[in-house]
Structure 1
Amino acid sequence: MKTLTALTNKCGNLNGHGTKAKQSLILSLLLITLSPGAQAFYPIEINANPNGMKIEYQASNALNSVILQVKNQEAYAIQCRAHFRNGPETPTIRTQLVAPEAESIFTASFQRSIIRIRIDLECVNEGEPFNRLKGLK
């Protein structure tokens, strides 16, 4: 179901579609990302500012896309924002509400070839404003 969130971000809302359609989309994405040659290897740097909240995060890549998984280990919902930067391209910003004890997927795709990705991740309590992360304009 983690992959479904990423597909929802890219393909729109899947509510109202049957479980088989969702499973089919998930299987298709997994086959694409796990196929030989689909994996790209470049360093991913994560600058996390969880503001004292218990979160886990992990980044991976596929072709010219980056996938960031964020798991909320708190008993309440938190809001997270990720800035994906790839050299001179305009940063991609994703913001999501992460339910208690749940996981969310943040994705970004880039036009230029990727040499290094920098991700600035910040999480705050639901409804609170985000702080300005260092180095971001």
Structure 2
Amino acid sequence: MNKFCCALLALLPAVALAYPIEVEKQYNGAEIVYDTTDIDGNMAAINLQNLGEARAECTVRFINGPETPRVRKAVIDGGKSAYLTAKFNRAVIKLRIKLTCNPK
């Protein structure tokens, strides 16, 4: 029983690092798929993949509470992908991402 409790306590920090990520998306006709990742307690990333043939211009706003939003922009050719990251000064409790893409 003692070993079980120690193993359970050892796993707690790994669970505490994860935070929820909400994505508000607006594709405007672009064929984009995304995947979000929490890299660290104060860092996040989004991977954008363009499934269409037309080039897409995307703007991503990473919003972490009272901090200034981090804005990243990418132009993604058809069949290609882009990986955008943001680092914050404070630990992230809940991250909101606003994704806006337009075909070019």
| TM-score normalised by L of structure 1 | 0.62
Matches within 5 A, 1:1-137: 40-63=17-40, 64-126=42-104
Q: CA deviation at 1:125?
A: 2.1
Unaligned runs of 5+ in 1: 1-35, 127-137
Structure 1 runs, 4 residues or longer, greater than 4 Å off = none
Of Structure 1 and Structure 2, which has the larger fraction of its residues in helix? Answer: 1
Matched residue count: 90
Query: Deviation per CA, 1:47-72, whole angstroms, max 9, x where unpaired?
Result: 01011221110101111111100000
State which structure, 1 or 2, has the greater radius of gyration over its C-alpha atoms.
2
Query: Deviation per CA, 1:77-106, whole angstroms, max 9, x where unpaired?
Result: 111000000000000000010111111011
Of Structure 1 and Structure 2, which has the larger fraction of its residues in strand? Answer: 2
| TM-score normalised by L of structure 2 | 0.81
CA RMSD in angstroms, aligned pairs only: 1.5
Unaligned runs of 5+ in 2: 1-12
Q: Which gives a bigger RCO, structure 1 or 2 (Cα 8 Å, sep 6+)?
A: 2
